[in-house]
Each structure stands twice: as C-alpha cells, then as structure tokens.
Structure 1
C-alpha cells in the first residue's frame, strides 16, 4: 500500500506496491471508502497498473474526463465542471450520474473542484487519472503542483496516464516498486536538500539539488527505489514500461 506523509522522518519508509493500492480483502471496504479516482481530461491508457490502481475506488469525473469512465467500465458517483469540454453524446451516455455544474468563469479548475468534492466525501487517497499529458500543458503542470500541495496536507496522491506515473516527494521517505530497468526522474519544484536515491543505477547520498538542475532526470530503477528528502518539494515521474535506458 502506498502512503506519503510529509511529517515523517527519514527513518520512516513508505512503499508503493508493484500496482499501487491493490484492493486488499481484509481492508477492501475501508480502503474503497477513502480512495477516490478523479477522472481528468488528459490522456489515459488502460494498462494493468492503471486498472489495479483504481480497483475498488470511488469515482468522480471532472468535465470531459467522464469519457474515461466508459473505457474503465465504471459509473462515477458525481460529475462536476462547466461542461465546456463535454460533447452531447457523452452527456447522454451517463444520464443518471448526478451533475454539479459550475460557470466557466470560476476560481478553480474542474479537476480541483472534483478533488475538493472527494475530500468532502472522506477521501484520504487520490488517484488523479488523466492528470498527465494531453493537449493542455498548463493543466498537466497544475496537477503536479497541486499534488505536492495535497501531499503536504497529508493526502496520498498518485497521478497517472496509465503509461506514466507521478508521486509527490516531500520531506520524508518513500519507496516505489518499479520494474527493474524502467525509467524514472526526479523533478525539483524547489531547491532540494538531503536527497537520497537508493537502488537505482545512479544513486545519490545526501545530495543538494539546485533548483532547475537536470541532475536527477533519466535514472534507471534496479527494483524497489527508495527516496529520502530532507527538505524541499519535488515530483518523482516514472515510466514503468519504458526500458529504453537499458
């Protein structure tokens, strides 16, 4: 099970299983009640990792992200947004899903509104599906920044396109269970202090990463990769099926 707590010390270790957040028999109901998948408008590939990540979760769709619901075979419990990117045929395909419309001139994105609704319903773990890629780079960047903010508030966050995954890295330790020889990078959103990367082709020990440095781009997993950060904000971007760095 994956969990990221910004208040943890370096001695604390969190692990991401090969498929994040599997539905465990003994804990399935409790997990499903607090795990929400937010269907966003970016690209989404139906990989096994994606299916396992969202298995047993509750779903909320943000505007045109509803198109992913049919592909996943799920019916969200809520559909929010200004519906400016929702074609008429998509609206007709889910007539019984409650809608919560907002004006186009609003102070938050449809995705942020959907996350707020999930939190109001008891979310502690969030899978932002369709958060990466797509036509809107501004939205993709905002999702990454927002994920770090949510992690600092104590929420467990996974962003995914199915083929690419992102996890916030804040002060503490996490482990990502990535396929051996798959690619990953660490992108700093600030200066990073006390960065450790273990079980990777290019490990780091108590490293100071200046803001804007490319030093931590394109690393290669040697199995379960452990990250420890003393201070700063970053995102770990992984491509579990990309072995081009071998």
Structure 2
C-alpha cells in the first residue's frame, strides 16, 4: 500500500493519533495546506495550486519544495489537483489533512463527496482535522478503533438500506434510513464499533478528541 498525506487548507489540531496516521507517508501540499507541514513535522515532495491563499511568508524549511503552479481560473480545486497527482504517483491510501472547517464550506463539502467517490474507486480514504475524522462507508461491514465515549454520526448522502450499528450506545439493526433523516446523528461508541451497510452512500464522522491518550 502506498499512503499519501494531502495537506488541505482546513482546520488542524495536531494529536498523537494524527501523527500515527501520517507517519511514513508521502506528502503533497495544496496551496495554503503547506502551513500544516511544520505543525506535523512533514516534508512535502510537492506543493501545488494557484497560490491565491498561500501564506505570505513560508517557513525556510520548505523553500526548496518543488512547486507546480496552476491558473486561478480552473475547473478543479487545488485539493482535487493534489489528490489527482497522488493517484498518478501510485497512491492507494489517502489521508486528507485539513479536510474540515476553514473559510470555505463548499470546499469541505467537496472533500466529503470526493472521499466517497475515491473509496468507490478502490482507494482507502481518511479525512481528518485531528479533532474530527471521516471515513467513507461502503456496502459491507467495517470495524473502527475508537475509544468508548467517542461521539460519531453516519452522514447519509443517499437513502441507506440495511444499516447496522454495533458497539454503540444506540444500536441499529438492519434499518433503512431515508435521505435527509437525522436518525444516524450523534451516537456514542460503547465497545468495538462495527457498521454494516446494505446499500447507499454514507460517511462515518467521528470525534476522537479528547481521547484517553492525552
């Protein structure tokens, strides 16, 4: 597996869990995402974008990072361009750091939907700010390593069928969830969280911070 970390322009809270998730990965920074490199102790192999939101002063440690400049008027965001380059370079696993928050809610929404599309195409994807993280849910069963008490929601991007949640305060067993329902919001981990999905498009959004490791 070839893991790439994509540094995006959203919020970041460095945590030991996040350090483990990006350890040993290759790194590409998208525009203002370069500001997260120093906080995480990462060295990008490429910094790309239209540089309309890049910091005015760059840490001298990153002055020699190769840059690829795109025009401001383009049909892809800097983040999507960075992901495309990572896939071209052999990425099979992606950690999208800074995928949440920031000044552009439209970009954050894109990251959620893009993660689903990438997962359906066969890539392993994690979206994270350190404070919260998202994982696409595909039909089948997945297990997660969250501590007891971790808050989580299942965000539905379509009607869901056969949704089961085990290891949770409020259990679900093979339920169908209409698109737009709040049924799957604000649950809590109790034990080993396992989620099964019959059909539909969804994403697990969890809040692992604060955690017992702090």
TM-score, normalisation: structure 2: 0.95
What is the CA distance between 1:138 and its match in structure 2? 0.8
Q: 1:141 aligns with which of 109, 112, 116?
A: 109
> Contact 2:164/2:174 (CA < 8 Å) preserved in 1?
yes
CA distance in 1, matches of 2:20, 2:208: 14
> Contact 1:177/1:223 (CA < 8 Å) preserved in 2?
no
CA distance in 1, matches of 2:59, 2:117: 32
Specify the alignment match of 2:172 in structure 1.
Answer: 204
Count of aligned residue pairs for this structure pair: 211
Specify the alignment match of 1:159 in structure 2.
Answer: 127
> Contact 1:183/1:242 (CA < 8 Å) preserved in 2?
no
Alignment of 1:80-91 (within 5 A): 80-90=48-58
CA distance in 2, matches of 1:201, 1:242: 18
Runs of 4+ in structure 1 deviating by more than 6 angstroms, as ranges, are none
TM-score, normalisation: structure 1: 0.83
Unaligned runs of 5+ in 1: 1-30
Q: 2:100 aligns with which of 132, 140, 149?
A: 132
Q: Deviations over 1:39-91 (max 9, x none)?
A: 00001111111111001111000000000011111210001100000123127
Unaligned runs of 5+ in 2: none
CA distance in 1, matches of 2:52, 2:59: 11
Task: Report the secondary structure of 2:58's partner residue.
Answer: helix
Task: Report the secondary structure of 2:71's partner residue.
Answer: coil
> Contact 1:181/1:223 (CA < 8 Å) preserved in 2?
no
Q: Deviations over 1:212-246 (max 9, x none)?
A: 00001000101321011110001100001258xxx
CA distance in 1, matches of 2:70, 2:153: 36
CA distance in 2, matches of 1:165, 1:121: 25
Q: Deviations over 1:161-214 (max 9, x none)?
A: 001010001212111111101100001000000111111011111110000000
Task: Report the secondary structure of 1:88's partner residue.
Answer: coil
CA distance in 1, matches of 2:114, 2:17: 23
CA distance in 2, matches of 1:93, 1:109: 26
> Contact 2:163/2:196 (CA < 8 Å) preserved in 1?
yes
